[in-house]
Amino acid sequence: MRSYLTTFLIFISWCCSSQANEKQPRILIAYLSRTNNTKAIAEIIQQYVGGSLVAIELVKPYPEDYKTIVDQVAKENETGYLPPLKTKIEDIRQYDFVFVGFPTWGMQLPPPVKSFLSQYDLSGKTIVPFNNHAGYGVGSAFDTVKKLCSKSKILEGFSIKGGIERDGILFVMEGEKEKQARDEVKKWLKKINLAK
Protein backbone atom coordinates (compact mmCIF):
# COMPACT_ATOMS: atom_id res chain seq x y z
CA MET A 1 0.00 0.00 0.00
CA ARG A 2 2.83 2.39 0.94
CA SER A 3 4.59 1.81 -2.42
CA TYR A 4 1.30 2.43 -4.27
CA LEU A 5 0.81 5.68 -2.35
CA THR A 6 4.40 6.77 -3.07
CA THR A 7 3.97 6.04 -6.78
CA PHE A 8 0.67 7.93 -6.81
CA LEU A 9 2.25 10.98 -5.11
CA ILE A 10 5.18 10.96 -7.55
CA PHE A 11 2.71 10.80 -10.46
CA ILE A 12 0.64 13.71 -9.07
CA SER A 13 3.83 15.74 -8.51
CA TRP A 14 4.98 15.04 -12.08
CA CYS A 15 1.57 16.08 -13.50
CA CYS A 16 1.62 19.33 -11.53
CA SER A 17 5.16 20.18 -12.64
CA SER A 18 4.24 19.36 -16.27
CA GLN A 19 1.28 21.72 -16.10
CA ALA A 20 3.43 24.42 -14.50
CA ASN A 21 5.98 24.06 -17.30
CA GLU A 22 3.27 24.34 -19.94
CA LYS A 23 2.20 27.67 -18.45
CA GLN A 24 5.69 29.13 -18.77
CA PRO A 25 5.53 31.90 -21.39
CA ARG A 26 7.38 31.11 -24.60
CA ILE A 27 9.83 33.85 -25.41
CA LEU A 28 11.53 34.91 -28.65
CA ILE A 29 14.38 37.42 -28.53
CA ALA A 30 14.97 38.75 -32.06
CA TYR A 31 17.64 41.37 -32.60
CA LEU A 32 19.44 43.35 -35.30
CA SER A 33 23.07 44.03 -34.45
CA ARG A 34 25.76 45.51 -36.67
CA THR A 35 28.50 46.06 -34.07
CA ASN A 36 27.36 43.35 -31.59
CA ASN A 37 26.19 45.81 -28.91
CA THR A 38 22.52 44.94 -29.41
CA LYS A 39 23.47 41.26 -29.54
CA ALA A 40 25.19 41.63 -26.15
CA ILE A 41 22.02 43.16 -24.66
CA ALA A 42 19.92 40.36 -26.22
CA GLU A 43 22.18 37.77 -24.60
CA ILE A 44 21.87 39.48 -21.20
CA ILE A 45 18.07 39.48 -21.55
CA GLN A 46 18.14 35.77 -22.44
CA GLN A 47 20.16 35.02 -19.30
CA TYR A 48 17.40 36.62 -17.20
CA VAL A 49 14.24 35.44 -19.01
CA GLY A 50 15.29 32.42 -21.08
CA GLY A 51 13.79 32.01 -24.54
CA SER A 52 15.09 31.59 -28.08
CA LEU A 53 17.68 34.02 -29.43
CA VAL A 54 17.50 34.88 -33.15
CA ALA A 55 19.56 37.37 -35.17
CA ILE A 56 17.65 39.41 -37.77
CA GLU A 57 19.76 38.98 -40.92
CA LEU A 58 19.28 40.26 -44.45
CA VAL A 59 19.30 38.27 -47.67
CA LYS A 60 21.73 40.91 -48.98
CA PRO A 61 23.79 42.31 -46.07
CA TYR A 62 24.44 46.02 -45.81
CA PRO A 63 27.83 47.30 -47.02
CA GLU A 64 30.69 47.48 -44.53
CA ASP A 65 31.38 51.19 -45.14
CA TYR A 66 29.53 53.35 -42.60
CA LYS A 67 28.79 56.29 -44.94
CA THR A 68 27.44 53.94 -47.62
CA ILE A 69 25.11 52.19 -45.18
CA VAL A 70 23.85 55.55 -43.85
CA ASP A 71 22.96 56.67 -47.39
CA GLN A 72 21.31 53.34 -48.22
CA VAL A 73 19.23 53.30 -45.03
CA ALA A 74 18.14 56.93 -45.60
CA LYS A 75 16.85 55.95 -49.07
CA GLU A 76 15.07 52.89 -47.68
CA ASN A 77 13.37 55.03 -45.03
CA GLU A 78 12.32 57.63 -47.62
CA THR A 79 10.80 55.06 -49.97
CA GLY A 80 9.42 52.69 -47.33
CA TYR A 81 11.50 49.85 -48.75
CA LEU A 82 11.53 46.73 -46.58
CA PRO A 83 14.67 44.67 -47.23
CA PRO A 84 14.11 40.90 -47.57
CA LEU A 85 15.21 38.88 -44.56
CA LYS A 86 17.31 35.75 -44.51
CA THR A 87 15.99 35.08 -41.00
CA LYS A 88 12.90 32.87 -40.90
CA ILE A 89 10.90 32.05 -37.76
CA GLU A 90 9.35 28.60 -38.23
CA ASP A 91 6.23 29.11 -36.13
CA ILE A 92 5.78 32.56 -34.66
CA ARG A 93 2.46 31.41 -33.14
CA GLN A 94 4.27 29.42 -30.46
CA TYR A 95 5.65 32.57 -28.79
CA ASP A 96 3.80 34.63 -26.18
CA PHE A 97 6.48 37.31 -25.79
CA VAL A 98 8.60 38.74 -28.60
CA PHE A 99 11.55 40.89 -27.55
CA VAL A 100 12.74 43.01 -30.49
CA GLY A 101 16.20 44.61 -30.28
CA PHE A 102 17.81 47.13 -32.60
CA PRO A 103 20.20 50.07 -32.82
CA THR A 104 18.91 53.56 -33.62
CA TRP A 105 19.64 54.39 -37.28
CA GLY A 106 18.97 57.96 -38.39
CA MET A 107 16.78 58.42 -35.28
CA GLN A 108 14.43 55.74 -36.68
CA LEU A 109 13.66 52.04 -36.49
CA PRO A 110 16.05 50.24 -38.88
CA PRO A 111 14.40 48.97 -42.10
CA PRO A 112 15.29 45.30 -41.38
CA VAL A 113 13.35 45.50 -38.09
CA LYS A 114 10.40 47.05 -39.94
CA SER A 115 10.63 44.06 -42.31
CA PHE A 116 10.62 41.65 -39.37
CA LEU A 117 7.63 43.25 -37.64
CA SER A 118 5.68 43.49 -40.92
CA GLN A 119 6.43 39.91 -41.98
CA TYR A 120 4.75 38.14 -39.06
CA ASP A 121 1.30 38.25 -37.50
CA LEU A 122 2.05 39.38 -33.96
CA SER A 123 -1.59 39.98 -32.98
CA GLY A 124 -2.25 39.24 -29.33
CA LYS A 125 1.42 38.84 -28.47
CA THR A 126 3.37 40.93 -25.99
CA ILE A 127 6.11 42.89 -27.76
CA VAL A 128 9.10 44.10 -25.74
CA PRO A 129 11.40 46.53 -27.61
CA PHE A 130 15.01 47.17 -26.61
CA ASN A 131 17.54 49.49 -28.15
CA ASN A 132 21.09 50.74 -28.12
CA HIS A 133 22.12 54.06 -29.55
CA ALA A 134 25.13 56.33 -30.07
CA GLY A 135 24.05 58.93 -27.54
CA TYR A 136 21.04 60.52 -29.22
CA GLY A 137 18.44 58.16 -27.81
CA VAL A 138 15.83 55.95 -29.42
CA GLY A 139 14.33 58.60 -31.74
CA SER A 140 10.97 57.54 -33.17
CA ALA A 141 11.78 53.80 -33.08
CA PHE A 142 9.56 52.78 -30.14
CA ASP A 143 6.63 54.72 -31.65
CA THR A 144 7.14 52.89 -34.95
CA VAL A 145 7.12 49.54 -33.12
CA LYS A 146 3.74 50.53 -31.60
CA LYS A 147 2.35 51.43 -35.04
CA LEU A 148 3.58 48.22 -36.68
CA CYS A 149 2.30 46.08 -33.80
CA SER A 150 -1.03 47.83 -33.23
CA LYS A 151 -2.79 44.54 -32.35
CA SER A 152 -0.14 43.56 -29.80
CA LYS A 153 0.49 44.57 -26.21
CA ILE A 154 3.65 46.72 -26.13
CA LEU A 155 5.64 46.84 -22.90
CA GLU A 156 7.90 49.70 -21.88
CA GLY A 157 11.10 49.58 -23.94
CA PHE A 158 14.71 49.63 -22.83
CA SER A 159 17.40 51.88 -24.31
CA ILE A 160 21.11 52.17 -23.54
CA LYS A 161 24.06 53.97 -25.07
CA GLY A 162 26.28 51.64 -27.07
CA GLY A 163 29.08 52.30 -29.54
CA ILE A 164 29.44 55.22 -31.95
CA GLU A 165 30.08 53.61 -35.32
CA ARG A 166 30.37 57.01 -37.01
CA ASP A 167 33.44 57.70 -34.85
CA GLY A 168 34.86 54.20 -35.17
CA ILE A 169 33.83 53.23 -31.62
CA LEU A 170 32.27 49.82 -32.18
CA PHE A 171 31.79 47.12 -29.54
CA VAL A 172 31.61 48.61 -26.04
CA MET A 173 29.52 46.11 -24.04
CA GLU A 174 32.42 44.65 -22.09
CA GLY A 175 34.11 45.17 -18.73
CA GLU A 176 32.52 47.90 -16.62
CA LYS A 177 30.10 48.86 -19.41
CA GLU A 178 28.81 45.27 -19.62
CA LYS A 179 28.30 45.20 -15.83
CA GLN A 180 26.40 48.50 -15.99
CA ALA A 181 24.27 47.19 -18.89
CA ARG A 182 23.50 43.99 -16.96
CA ASP A 183 22.35 46.00 -13.91
CA GLU A 184 20.17 48.29 -16.06
CA VAL A 185 18.61 45.37 -17.95
CA LYS A 186 17.81 43.58 -14.69
CA LYS A 187 16.19 46.72 -13.24
CA TRP A 188 14.11 47.19 -16.42
CA LEU A 189 12.96 43.55 -16.50
CA LYS A 190 11.87 43.82 -12.85
CA LYS A 191 9.99 47.03 -13.63
CA ILE A 192 8.01 45.35 -16.44
CA ASN A 193 7.53 42.18 -14.32
CA LEU A 194 9.55 39.86 -16.55
CA ALA A 195 12.56 39.08 -14.35
CA LYS A 196 12.63 35.48 -13.10
Contacts of 50 (CB under 8 A, 6+ apart): 27, 196
Q: Cα(158)–Cα(101) distance, rounded to whole angstroms? A: 9
Q: Is 186 exposed, middle or buried (0-12, 13-18, 19+ CB in 10 A)?
A: middle
pLDDT tens digits, one per residue of 53-111: 999 999 999 999 989 999 999 999 999 999 999 999 999 999 999 999 999 999 999 99
Q: Which CATH class is domain 24-191?
A: alpha beta
Among candidates 165, 99, 104, which has minimal Cα distance to 133?
104
Task: Please answer whether residues 76 and 83 qualify as being in contact, where contact means their C-beta atoms are separated by less than 8 angstroms.
Answer: yes
pLDDT tens digits, one per residue of 114-150: 999 999 999 999 999 999 999 999 999 999 999 999 9
Question: What global pTM score does this model have?
Answer: 0.86
